[in-house]
Amino acid sequence: MIVLNKINHKNWSIQIYKFNFTIKNMKKNSTAIVALVIVIVVILVLLIYSGTNKQTNLNNNSVTPVGQNTNTPVLFSDSPLSQNAYLISIPTFDANTKTALSGFNVTKSTLADGSTQIVLNSTNPDYQTQTYTVKTGEKLYFIETALGDDSGNKDGTVEDDTAILVDANGFIVR
């Protein structure tokens, strides 16, 4: 608690809890007042910050069920990647899909639970093999953003090639 008592025009008395400061000449000791105000402001900011930090921590401690995605679902059709997508979780590929898959070998196998395992293996040694498990109702799309880097059975740029798994409702899984 701060109490200001005006004694006369040139003298002020400031009492902070049990500490007393007397400023007899405002012009000479104005830095003391500025320093005191700064200390008070810093203390108030720290108190306010510590209160909001506790409230934020309370909100962050909520429990999320295991296996539940906490990200906002994104419809694949709303994604810019859908413009360069080729469906590869179907039994046969059309001519455009075959062109997009240039430089890749695609192998499919049915798993015991009825899902399909799809492996994308590149002929480019710098490319990592990608393996996807597609459950019933899901779809796997191959994304090829630059068909111009493909010729014959070779893919010149591997950074633009990936796959997107989409659930039965059309939302991106990964």
* Per-residue confidence band for 83, with pLDDT thresholds at 50, 70 and 90: very high
Is the Cα dihedral 98, 102, 105, 111 positive or negative? negative
DSSP string, 20-49: EEEES-TTTTHHHHHHHHHHHHHHHHHHHH
The CA–CA distances, whole Å, from 37 to 22, 159, 166 equal: 15, 57, 59
Under the phi-then-psi rule, with left for phi > 0, alpha for psi from -120 to 50, and beta for the rest, what region is 81?
alpha
Tokens, residue 165: 């798994």
At CA 152, angle to CA 147 and CA 153, rounded to 5?
95
Q: Over the stretch 96-105, which tens digit does the pLDDT of each residue have?
A: 899 888 888 9
CA nearest 167: which of 135, 143, 142, 144? Answer: 135
pLDDT at 41: 80
pLDDT at 131: 93
Q: Rounded distance, CA 53 to CA 150, Å?
A: 53
Q: Over the stretch 22-56, which tens digit does the pLDDT of each residue have?
A: 545 555 567 767 777 788 887 877 777 676 554 44
What is the value of pTM for the model shown?
A: 0.56
Q: 1 vs 91, which has greater pLDDT?
A: 91
Q: Is the pLDDT of residue 108 over 70?
A: yes
pLDDT at 164: 93
Q: Over the stretch 144-166, which tens digit does the pLDDT of each residue have?
A: 887 765 555 555 555 568 899 99
